[in-house]
Amino acid sequence: MPDKISVQNAKRYLKQQQELGETELVLKRAQAKPPVQENTRSAAPNTSLDYYRRQIEKCQKCSLGKTRIKFVFGDGDPNSKLVFVGEAPGSDEDEQGLPFVGRAGQLLTKIIEAINFKRSQVYICNILKCRPPDNRNPLPAEIELCEPYLIKQLEIIKPAVICTLGTFASQTLLKTDIPISKLRGKIHYYQNIKLVPTFHPAALLRNPAWKRDTWEDVKLVRQIYDQEVKNGR
């Protein structure tokens, strides 16, 4: 018998049971059911990651610390099994303190949604946490100084899959100088984590013809994610 029904429905239920041949009913004391928790992983704060951000957000290790407006640590579900890693904040990101919020960010959101995730279900961050002036490329020394922060973030989040966006993120995590056009489309490994490189969304805005390849790459990301989660990672 359901835990809680109206008197009217109770009468109907008892009649049905009688018609089905039941002669007696066992009455159970109602037990409190645990509340249904939807998507508990994304709701749970990752205190280690928050703590780590607070430890480094005033960083001045390189000159970008002096020119930034805001430090851009990362955004999304800190417990996600999927992490996107880009290059560096641009002007919108610098103003808002969040990664991928400009035009390229809007395209990234569409890409994420195309593989049936909400943006809030994944984690997004960059190699550099501060904006290079005039959106110039990150310098090797800046990458070297900032990379340990990303490594620590990944250590805390423990993703099952990483998708690197563009040359700098891919080459930095894979320790290679192979161009992105040759790295993409395949599964690589960062430590023991599967990593799929693809084009940076800003590059897609300049070269829409690369969208087809990117679509193939992110489908691969989704496939790996499903497999890894199924295997309990």
In this chain, which stretch among 36-44, 58-66, 89-97, 212-220 interacts with ligand SF4, using CB under 6 A? 58-66
Q: What are the backbone dihedrals phi and psi of residue 125, each rounded to the nearest 5 degrees, phi first?
A: -150, -175
Q: What are the backbone dihedrals phi and psi of residue 196, each rounded to the nearest 5 degrees, phi first?
A: -120, 115
Q: Does 145 bind ligand SF4 (CB under 6 A)?
A: yes
User: Distance (Å, rounded) from C-alpha 220 to C-alpha 133?
Assistant: 34
Residue 225 is which amino acid? Y
Q: Does 64 bind ligand SF4 (CB under 6 A)?
A: yes
Instruction: Report yes or no: 229 and 121 within 8 Å, Cβ to Cβ.
Output: no
Beta strand 82-86 pairing with 123-126: parallel
Q: Does 59 bind ligand SF4 (CB under 6 A)?
A: yes
Q: Does 61 bind ligand SF4 (CB under 6 A)?
A: yes
CB of 69 to ligand SF4, least distance (A): 12
Of 81 and 129, which CB lies nearer to ligand SF4 in the complex structure? 129
Nearest to residue 76, comparing CAs of 84, 88, 64? 84
- Element holding 125 (H helix, E strand): strand 123-126
CB of 159 to ligand SF4, least distance (A): 21
Among 49, 85, 112, 146, binds ligand SF4 (CB under 6 A): 146
Of 68 and 222, which CB lies nearer to ligand SF4 in the complex structure? 68
Site of interaction with ligand SF4 (CB under 6 A): 59-62, 64-65, 128-130, 142, 145-146
